[in-house]
Amino acid sequence: MVNPFGEGAVPVSFEVYPPRTPDKAPSLYETIRALAAVHPRFISVTFGAGGSSRRSSLEVLTHILHNTHVQPMAHLTCVGTTHAEAADLVREFLDAGITSFLALRGDPPTDEAHIDDFIGDVKTAAELVQLIQHVQSERAPWTDYPVMGSTARRIDPTPAPVNVAVAAFPNGHPESGATRADIDSLLAKQAAGANLAITQLFFHSDDYFRFVDKARTAGVTMPILPGIMPITSHQRLTRVVELTGEKEPSELSINLQIEPTAEGRAAVGVDYATKLVNELVAGGAPGIHLYAFNRHDTVLDVLHAARLVP
Ligand code: FAD
């Protein structure tokens, strides 16, 4: 995709989630319009493990595909699915015109009694990467074209290549005993055909650069895109730390707690994320991926402050 900011501009991308209720869709579509206006490389849409958001995720992805110039990236999870179910899911998204995926294992429910039933037979993200490539290679590359007021099908001689991204964990996945397991897992995903890694959020640029160094030494060659979440309330910081297992950044935590106004806390979150983005860009990160939380104001403030968009 041509970057309208010219050669050398740092690519940006965003993550959104499907609306939790239908009445939230219009505001999400307004957010997507505002995010698309800064020409991101892609906008990714999360997927509820177990398929809970299958329909709503696909709706948001096709909205992006048909209403913006931006590439939609579908998160897909494999936990709890059989091989045939996962292949059906991939086929459905490919048929809808989606060609970019973030292949994830997802998390089984915490209800211990059902964990064994829930694991399914596609057990790791690496297996899902392989499955996506396999489904695409087996799919007849048909395209519809209009003929005499109707449509006919023909073989597309140049079917769109499928891009498959995967997750990476600079500070280790909560289930991995040592960071080394994460690097091995990233290598397995690359061997399966992944061509981009997107990191879990982190709060210190050193964590990212140390991880990238280790990954390169081990043979990971795909770009590793840092994932950044501007956090504008202490409540959200606590929740995010709980969910990701990241260590709470004390400076951000204290500043969010002592700031009395919502406006002031927004500024604290934007400043922290901007400093992180500046350090990452200066250190050579291949782009910046922002967790938008279905709001455009905060992430766009960060990109403006970091001078990554005009
Ligand atoms: P995997 O890579 O399969 O494995 C996770 C970890 O397990 C590895 O890092 C490694 O430590 C260990 N491991 C795996 N295979 C092996 C092996 N063979 N040997 C030893 N150790 C191994 N979840 C959702 O439900 N929906 C989403 O939309 C979503 N989006 C996400 C987006 C990003 C950018 C990130 C970073 C995470 C996202 N998640 C999402 C969360 C993700 O599903 C969980 O973190 C899940 O626990 C792991 O998924 P994975 O794809 O990293 O799994």
State the Cα–Cα distance between residues 76 and 47, nearest whole angstrom. 6
Q: Give the residue ranges of DSSP H helices in the chain.
A: 25-36, 54-67, 83-95, 115-118, 125-138, 179-192, 205-218, 234-244, 250-258, 262-282, 297-305
* Domain 12-305, second-level architecture: Alpha-Beta Barrel (3.20)
Residue 190 in this model has a pLDDT that exceeds 90: yes
Q: 15 catalytic, yes or no? A: yes
Please indicate whether residue 158 or residue 102 has the higher confidence score (pLDDT): 102
Give, using CA atoms, the residue closest to atom 28 of ligand 1: 46
Residue of 7, 15, 85, 242 with catalytic role? 15
| Cβ contact 57:63 at 8 Å | no
Most confidently modeled range among 169-173, 241-245, 274-278 = 274-278
Domain residue limits, the chain:
12-305
State the Cα–Cα distance between residues 62 and 70, nearest whole angstrom. 11
Say what the pLDDT of residue 1 is.
Answer: 46
Verdict on whether the full-model pTM lies above 0.85? yes
Residue 2 in this model has a pLDDT that exceeds 60: no
Say what the pLDDT of residue 181 is.
Answer: 82
Say what the pLDDT of residue 111 is.
Answer: 63
Give the whole-number percent of the chain exceeding pLDDT 70.
Answer: 90
Say what the pLDDT of residue 178 is.
Answer: 59
Ligand 1 centroid from CA 170, angstroms: 12
Give the orientation angle of helix 179-192 with respect to helix 205-218, to 10 degrees: 60
Say what the pLDDT of residue 45 is.
Answer: 98
Name 74's Cβ contacts closer than 8 Å, sequence gap at least 6: 44, 45, 47, 57, 58, 61, 93, 98, 100, 101, 102
Give, using CA atoms, the residue closest to atom 36 of ligand 1: 200
Say what the pLDDT of residue 170 is.
Answer: 95
Say what the pLDDT of residue 176 is.
Answer: 76
Can you tell me which atom of ligand 1 is nearest the CA of 125? 3
Ligand 1 centroid from CA 11, angstroms: 24
Per-residue pLDDT band at 155 (split at 50, 70, 90): confident
pLDDT tens-digit profile of 34-74? 999 999 999 999 999 888 899 999 999 999 999 999 999 99
- Report the DSSP pairing between strands 142-147 and 150-155: antiparallel
User: What average pLDDT is seen over the chain?
Assistant: 91
Q: Which range is least confidently modeled, 83-92, 150-159, 236-245?
A: 150-159
Give, using CA atoms, the residue closest to atom 29 of ligand 1: 46
Give the whole-number percent of the chain exceeding pLDDT 90.
Answer: 75
pLDDT tens-digit profile of 101-117? 999 999 877 765 565 66
Please indicate whether residue 187 or residue 111 has the higher confidence score (pLDDT): 187
